[in-house]
Structure 1
Amino acid sequence: MYYRGETLDFVNMLLTETTVPLMRARLVFTSNLDIERLKAAVLASAQIVPEIFAHYQGERNRFEVTTQQVDDLVIETQSPYSPENFDFDFSTGPQLRLFVIHHDQYDVLQAFMSHLLTDSVGFKEYLYLLAKAYNNDDLTTLQNERRLRPIITKLQHQRQRPRTHHQLPGTPVKLPHYQGINLRHIGHIMLTSKQFMQVRRIAKAQDVGISEAILAAYAKALQVLTGHTTITLPYPINFRHFTPTDDGTTRIANLTAMVYLNIQVPVDEPFNTLVQHVHALLATERTQAVFLSRLVNLQKMNHTMPVGVMRKFTRRWLAQQPLTYTNFGVIDQQRLQFHGLTVANCVFSGAFQPTPAMEIAASTFAGTCTLSFNSIGSERDYQLGMKILENIQAQLLVWSQTTSTTATAAVANDAH
């Protein structure tokens, strides 16, 4: 059975040609999963998203399902096995792998999903769907909507005519690359619920998004590290925000496109000013809707041109940036409940990027925000990645504390 690929599936294939296009989620349970129940849930979810069993045919931008062997997707292992070194190949294998790692008293579920099939939000949607199936909820009224065309049509009516001039990304900032044995590394750092609550409070008071603040901190960390005062970073635009659906529809699909922000980061500029600068850049991008004109052209090509020709045209403007950012957002604990089990922790992250490329991912679970990266490189490369995460964390904490102190002082002065 063949399932036609969408425009952004093709774009993600091009953007991830140098690395395996996967996303990773790690769920820690307080007890053991029922494996047979999990396998049944996977089969049930495949009634809604059959592409999880498919291999992707890049030359035709389509998914092909030849078999539905659930044991290919659900793999049981014993601790301390680590699935990061598994040989993922979504062109010959399925778009989903679930590793259940048994510990003495509990299980860890590591889920890996193809970015050719869905984006970060769609990955979460699939795990919510899997939880519903595990709970034996009725899925017969659910359908998965992968089409981009209805969203484009609606956006064209909602947005003003996009400008014809496309602002191209600046010269990409490159991180140093250190020699050594290349290994797979997982790096993460956390903002506690108390710390993140303060960051959220300040962001809300200044009417900026959490992702905008994180991106500003990322740009500042890169400026400090490299000395560059113009940092180009991609920012994800999720079209689901523009076109809500009903409760009977899930969207396990690629519905996120990137805009490229050329962020000016003067050495002595206050971080608060930098956050407002990023906010203004994004507001401009959304208003001028450059991403929409590109999508319209891609959508037309996807239905009229051979993939080989489409690839040639797309490469002319498709920017492959070595430094990227992915926001998985808030993980809904109520929707991630598996029958009889408690999820103690859940963290999402992106692909394993060969250094000096780097992808920072943000996800929030139980009020705690985790910043993470997955890399393939030397130990010194890993330490550099951790230094960047620590710098981002420090920028956000100082911002929240300094701004909070200033606001408190202002209130006190007004009282006198």
Structure 2
Amino acid sequence: MIGLGLAGFAALIALVALGLPIGLVMMVVGFVGLVLVGNIDTALTQLTSAFWSEGSKFVLIALPFYVLMGNLIYHTGIARNLYRAASHWLGWLPGGLGIASVFASAGFGAVSGSSTATARTMGAIVIPEMRRHGYGMRLATGVLSSAGTLGILIPPSIILIFYGLLTETSIGKLFVAGIVPGLIIATIFSILIMVISLIDPEQGGRHLASDRAPLRERIASLAHVFPVLAIFGVIFGGLYNGVFTPTEGAIFGVVAVLIYGAATGSLSFAAIRNSFADAALVTVMLFVIIVGGTLVTRFLAQTGFTGTLRDLIQSMELGYVGFIFAVTILYLVLGCVLDTFGMLILTVPILFPLAQQLGIDPVWFGIYAVIVTEVGLVTPPIGVNVYVIKTVAPDVPLGQIFLGCTPFVLGLLAFVALMAAEPSIILWLVGP
């Protein structure tokens, strides 16, 4: 039976590596595996129960609303206002436009919840500006690819909801825990940009103190980012103080963006229709991944593969540091062939119980897992964010974009080491 489980897992990885949709692959592998373990009747029963058990979770309702909110924000022009304000305040620094793009991406991520949406939106706005100001495209594309990863860490985050569903961890606490690491990573990225710009001025573009915008313009630019700050502030404040659930926060966010769009005339009927359609498609895709992952997990458990692998890891007696190091390496390897959702749904059911046995806080482990999977978004050969930025800057070779991401990947890994050494960095806002 264990051999069957190993063959199924290998087939899953191979099919995903060929580029087939991971949700459908997991459903097929899981269903066929369950047929081979038992029979067609039991497999159909498992399939039906997976759809029902996962689809009846109330918190799942939050997913389409957060995706919808991000889509609506994309059409409002808020992202451009965020970048304009950040560039007014930070553009005069060495690599200032890159630093501005990092914090603008953090702000956009705070209301979109999607890494690819953040990279796509900010890349289309920022890269032409950085090109016009003489920035090297290796740094420009590397910054925008990497800064886009902040969209899945700073709440509201679709991937944190996904992790919460897998582990039954409080999504509200996960959202609150994502704030501090998101800001620290944005700061690390900014420091790296300044260092790169000072060492290699050809990459850092033009940065003169005389370029600083007048105080009146800088203050006026803040007025345009107030809607983002207000929406984020109410969602975060409501979650932190227990005023509403993540699902209620998502609904509030959608209503707030619709009101803002109506007041400013920035949302057309076509934009709203397209936003709803895309939210429906993304939600269905995520639901298929969740159901497929459930089937694969049940198949592997019934073959004894999951238990054997868990026992093998336990027998190594890695301890806390060894466990974190091994899991980080595992995610870096899996990131070569799987996307973020695929990595989490295949590994969390195995690794989460082991983390609990080591006394690792579920919220901390969720933030850790998301940060490590972020690396897979900017490393070859998958590097989803890199391919998104490639569409914005088609003249820049993929190799140059990946090279531009390297300092920021190292920055992410350095932060992983820091949070492993000092877990309170993640948990101090969450409380007991």
TM-score, with structure 2 as normaliser: 0.24
Q: Which has the higher strand share?
A: 1
Q: Which has the higher helix share?
A: 2
Between 1 and 2, higher relative CO (CA 8 Å, sep ≥ 6) is seen in: 2
